[in-house]
Structures are given as structure tokens and as C-alpha cells.
Amino acid sequence: MIKKLSSIALAVILLLVAQQAVASEPAITGHIEGVELCPQFVCGAAVFVGQFKGNVDKRRAKGGFFVSVNHEPLLGEGKSANITGGEWFLRANLHFFRGDVLNGTIFNNGDNTFTIETVLQVTSGGSGQIMAKVDLDHNVIPFTVDGDLSQ
């Protein structure tokens, strides 16, 4: 019985530690809007810039972002291309964060729009990870991005 309870307690501790390792510290959530400055086939990476409005550690914040993403070739309607890496920067009020684009996908919605889902590792200004879900619209020039950062 004690052995079983010890195993359960260990599993609960591991789950709690794993959960905490994912969320960034400080917590960063909010909305991003911007443009694609350069596609990967021209610049060697897809480059995006824009504005951020949200919260850092539950305090209102606004600023700007820069993301450079590497990905597999975009595929046809209903298919996903893998994100293979990149880097990002975020200024939110007086806070500066940066990190690596770890992985994710670019899903072709079939109407010249794409849904991007990726994991951003915080390497400076904090720690942990941020989830990004962004819509990329290739129907207008410049191409636009609009999405959310969450924990």
C-alpha cells in the first residue's frame, strides 16, 4: 500500500513539475497583429513584425514583436508544413523578451490563409514557453498576421 501511494505521489509531483515547466515566467499572454516582411524563399526565413497588446505577469502591457521562422515548404489545401526553428523578440512596456521558435505547424486553410501554431521558448527576460496561434493571410499585400499568445 505504501509503495502504491509513493508511486502515485511521485506521478503527481512529476505532472506538476512538467506543467510548470511549460508556462513562461513571467506569464505572457495577449494579442499580436502585424505583417510578413519577407517570405522564406526570399530571405531564408519568414520574417514578421507587428504590435503586441496583452499582459505580462497579469499587468497590462503593449509593445512590438519580431519573429523569424524557418519551415518546410508550404503544402496544398488541408495539409500542414512543419516549423523547424527560428527566433523571436518581444517588447512589452519596459520588458524585453527573446527566445527560440521550437516547433509547430503551418496549416493551409485552402483560401490563401494559413493557421500557424508554434511553441516559443523564452531564453532572455524570463523562462519557460509561450504558445502562439496565428492566422496568416496571403490575400492582401502586405501579408498580415493576427493571433494570440497564451500559456
Specify if 136 maps to a domain.
yes
Integer Cα distance of 61 and 117 in angstroms: 23
Q: 135 forms bridges with which residues in the sheet?
A: 115, 146
Specify if 4 maps to a domain.
no
Specify if 8 maps to a domain.
no
Give how many domains the chain has, as a whole number: 1
Q: What is the 8-class DSSP label of residue 57?
A: T
Q: 85 forms bridges with which residues in the sheet?
A: 70
pLDDT attached to residue 22: 67
pLDDT band, very low/low/confident/very high, at 23 (cuts 50, 70, 90): confident
Specify if 79 maps to a domain.
yes
Specify if 18 maps to a domain.
no
- CB 98 within 8 Å of CB 89: yes
Specify if 94 maps to a domain.
yes
pLDDT band, very low/low/confident/very high, at 97 (cuts 50, 70, 90): very high
Query: What nine digits make up the cell of 105?
Result: 505547424
Specify if 12 maps to a domain.
no
CATH number where 83 lies = 2.40.128
Where helices occur in 27-150 by DSSP H, the ranges are 40-43
* Residue 15 scores a pLDDT above 50: no
Could you list the residue range(s) of the whole structural domain that residue 110 is in?
Answer: 24-150
Specify if 19 maps to a domain.
no
The 10s digit of each residue's pLDDT in 24-54 is 899 999 999 999 999 999 999 999 999 999 9
